[in-house]
Amino acid sequence: MVKGLEFLTLGVLVFTGGPTHASSPLVLNPPRVVVRYGDSVSANCSTSSTDHEGMGWEANFGGTGFEQDVNIVTWTVDNLTDWTIEPKCYTNLIDGEQPSKVLPVILYKNPDSVSISVLSHSGPIVEGTKYQLQCDIQNIAPLRNLVVKWYKGNEPLDNVAYSNVSKTPVDVSPTLMIIPNRDDDGAQYRCRAELDLGPEGPQPPLIMTSEPLDFTVFYPPTFSRPESETLDIRVGEEITLNCTATGRPTPLYSWQSSHVQEALFTPPSEVPGTYTCTASNQIGKISKTFTVNHKPKGDITTLWAILGSGLVLALLLVIAYVFVKHRAGPNSII
Ligand SMILES: *[C@@H]1O[C@H](CO)[C@@H](O)[C@H](O)[C@H]1NC(C)=O
Ligand SMILES: *[C@@H]1O[C@H](CO)[C@@H](O)[C@H](O)[C@H]1NC(C)=O
Ligand SMILES: *[C@@H]1O[C@H](CO)[C@@H](O)[C@H](O)[C@H]1NC(C)=O
Ligand SMILES: *[C@@H]1O[C@H](CO)[C@@H](O)[C@H](O)[C@H]1NC(C)=O
């Protein structure tokens, strides 16, 4: 029984022993720091162990050297500008070991600028064509905390994150492919750089947004009712043919023979026939045909109604005449 316990104790000792200590005797406070480039920073390193000779911070900036018989040492820098700094706290134990702990430092920097452009393109944006928008983010660190967000107006389009572990500032230019349509005419595209540095970082997270990219989308003329139209016209009546098309730039119009440059056309009423209108702009053109017919003559029932009322009127006149003549007597001149 006792032998078994000893075996167990031995087993535990073997497990926790060895050249490195399983749990460090050093406590960092705060356990990690997030610092803006050029700002001041400090962190404490303390130990509760009693079997040490002293401790210290080792760093390119703010190192303390070895301090004897202390339980806490402070690393502090007034103006942190070393992108690769790795402050390390250590203690010298009596048994000759030197456990240490590195303080994770995230040094960050706002981008110098964030701007948006259409990649390798000048001139009008045409509906249905592919374009690459590019967001230029200058001199930002660290890249792995950056999220680039794309917006059209207030509508989020896409997010881009980076896994790059480099600590020094970099320039990045993510792109977004778009195929604009006519509804995007007048839209404002933006990109936004967000540095999310966690709860130790600035709150709310740092955000820098580009100026909006104003979008003018050119598209060919389109009719709201694209089919040809047939209209009936009475002699002497005036009629207007409406060829209005939507398009950007604003379409120009031409009519079959006459060179009318407007969307509306009043054909001479005595000339029924076919009128073709073409709406065009620099993107395309579209045509529409109007067929103008004389309104057909009144139908058969109207004809009979007219004839019928004429007969009734004639009959009434005859009766009236006979009646008047009878009253006036045979000597009358009627
Ligand atoms: C470090 O310790 C000192 C004294 O113990 C204390 O005044 C200071 O606030 C501590 N700093 C941090 C960052 O905890
Ligand atoms: C911090 O250091 C940088 C580079 O050494 C220097 O340009 C800047 O003026 C310093 N800022 C302050 C507040 O000391
Ligand atoms: C990613 O990091 C490597 C070095 O770590 C660097 O060479 C490369 O340019 C970085 N990528 C970007 C997009 O900055
Ligand atoms: C012509 O048609 C367009 C739409 O197709 C319409 O907006 C406009 O009011 C019309 N004009 C006339 C004078 O009827």
In a domain, 1, yes or no: no
Neighbouring C-beta atoms of residue 49, cutoff 10 Å? 15
- Structure-token pair, residue 126: 């045409």
Contact assessment for residue 76 and residue 52, using Cβ atoms and an 8 Å cutoff: no
- Ligand in closest contact with the CA of 167: 3
Residue 244: CB within 6 Å of ligand 4? yes
* Domain ranges, residue 288: 220-294
The sign one gets for the Cα dihedral 249, 255, 259, 264 is: negative
In a domain, 300, yes or no: no
> Which residues, including other chains, have CB under 8 Å from residue 54's CB and lie 6 or more apart?
66, 67, 68, 69, 70, 91, 92
The sign one gets for the Cα dihedral 143, 147, 149, 154 is: negative
In a domain, 19, yes or no: no
Atom of ligand 1 nearest to the CA of 29: 14
| Tens digits of pLDDT across the chain (334 residues) | 333 333 444 433 333 333 444 478 899 999 999 999 999 999 999 998 888 999 999 999 999 999 999 999 999 999 999 999 999 999 999 998 999 999 999 999 999 999 999 998 888 899 999 999 999 999 999 999 999 999 999 999 999 999 988 899 999 999 999 999 999 999 999 999 999 998 889 988 899 999 999 889 999 999 988 778 888 877 777 788 889 999 999 999 988 754 456 677 776 655 677 888 999 999 999 999 888 887 765 555 555 666 767 788 888 888 887 777 777 766 666 6
Nearest CA to ligand 2 atom 8: 38
Residue 222: CB within 6 Å of ligand 4? no
Neighbouring C-beta atoms of residue 241, cutoff 10 Å? 19
End position of a domain, from candidates 215, 239, 268: 215
Indicate if 28 and 101 belong to the same structural domain.
Answer: yes
Residue 164: CB within 6 Å of ligand 3? yes
Indicate if 240 and 189 belong to the same structural domain.
Answer: no
What is the distance in A from the centroid of ligand 3 to the CA of 169? 10
Indicate if 126 and 163 belong to the same structural domain.
Answer: yes
Residue 264: CB within 6 Å of ligand 4? yes
Q: What is the CATH number of the domain that holds 139?
A: 2.60.40.10
Indicate if 240 and 181 belong to the same structural domain.
Answer: no
In a domain, 154, yes or no: yes
In a domain, 305, yes or no: no
**Cα 122 from Cα 187, distance rounded (Å):** 17
In a domain, 323, yes or no: no
Residue 252: CB within 6 Å of ligand 3? no
Indicate if 208 and 119 belong to the same structural domain.
Answer: yes
Indicate if 118 and 178 belong to the same structural domain.
Answer: yes
In a domain, 322, yes or no: no
Nearest Cα to 290, choosing from 266, 306, 308, 270? 266
Indicate if 101 and 123 belong to the same structural domain.
Answer: no
End position of a domain, from candidates 57, 76, 108: 108
In a domain, 200, yes or no: yes
DSSP annotation of 305 reads H
**Cα 63 from Cα 40, distance rounded (Å):** 14
- Ligand in closest contact with the CA of 140: 3
Count of the separate structural domains present in the chain: 3
Neighbouring C-beta atoms of residue 151, cutoff 10 Å? 19
Paired with 214 in beta bridges are 188
What is the distance in A from the centroid of ligand 2 to the CA of 171? 22
End position of a domain, from candidates 108, 138, 164: 108
Indicate if 118 and 40 belong to the same structural domain.
Answer: no
Residue 172: CB within 6 Å of ligand 3? yes
What is the distance in A from the centroid of ligand 1 to the CA of 295? 99
8 three-state secondary structure? helix
- Rg over CA atoms, the chain: 46
